[in-house]
Amino acid sequence: MSVTAHSSRNIAVITGASSGIGAVYADRFAARGYDLVLVARRADRLQTLAASLTEKHGVQVTPLVADLATTAGQDSVADVLATNPAVSVLVNNAGIARLAPLAASTPDDVSSQLTLNITALTRLTYAVLPAFKQRNAGLIINVASVLGLHSLPISAVYSGTKAFVVALTRGIEHELAETGVKVQAVLPAATATELWDPSGVPLAALAPESVMAADALVDAALFGLDQGETLTLPSVADAALIEQYETARVTLFASAQTGTVAPRLLPA
């Protein structure tokens, strides 16, 4: 199947699909009856996963080998998103972590995180959004991180990229408020994926009780989506904490809307 060919079913496009969270999303959307376009750099893994999902779920699965860290890779996926009317779901899951203090990071480690976590995700969202808005239907899932809400000494760049994903998703949510297009930001904590070992912090270094399985994460995120959540933290048990955070954020923003200098910042 050509990735530009029309499908009799709705299509879910999933980036970073060859393993981990992306592969689980692929399985779950196939189980929901979607045909798939799976995007990743590793052709062999994509082919194996595609064959497995076709056999298991009876859906059409198209591997799309693309390196989203390159303009050419982004172009190839953006073209599918912009031109195939069967595409109804985009899961922006592809990402990279290079965990180190900024002063100890290499230029490549910094730029690779910015390119994949921010530029590629934004480019693909921008590519699919006009068609979704025109059809008044569609779903965008952006996989961020709890580190988008907090920074560690080794996560300044990674946290910054994931904070961008959260802010972008919130902005799009407001943009789409009067439409049938849905958007969700998913903020995992530590999850058992291949992201860790090349990040500089091996998975084995984490406390096992702090690490969530990828399938449990995706199932929780999809349950949250089905309940209408637009910001989902799968590992947070107390929903009131999320509500308090959101309320405080909105209240703080509202309190800043004045042209008067705060008295606390005026000289005595």
Q: Which residues have a catalytic role annotated?
A: 158
Residues 6+ apart with CB under 8 A from 163: 148, 149
- What SS3 state is found at 2? coil
Cα 44 to Cα 213: distance, rounded to the nearest angstrom = 24
Neighbour-count burial of 228, counting CB atoms closer than 10 A to its CB (0-12 exposed, 13-18 middle, 19+ buried):
exposed
For 7, other C-beta atoms within 10 Å of its C-beta total 19
Cβ distance 64 to 38 under 8 Å?
yes
Which ranges of 60-204 does DSSP label H, i.e. alpha helix? Answer: 71-83, 107-113, 121-135, 156-175
What is the rounded CA–CA span in Å between residue 184 and residue 231?
Answer: 6
Separation in Å, CA 74 to CA 61, 106, 152, 180: 20, 23, 30, 26
- The amino acid that residue 261 corresponds to is V
Instruction: Take residue 246 and report the two structure tokens written for it.
Output: 């959101």
Strands (E), 48-111: 61-65, 87-92
CA 116 – CA 67 distance, rounded (Å) = 9
Place of tokens 């890779």: 73
CA-CA distance, 141 to 128, in Å (whole number)?
A: 12
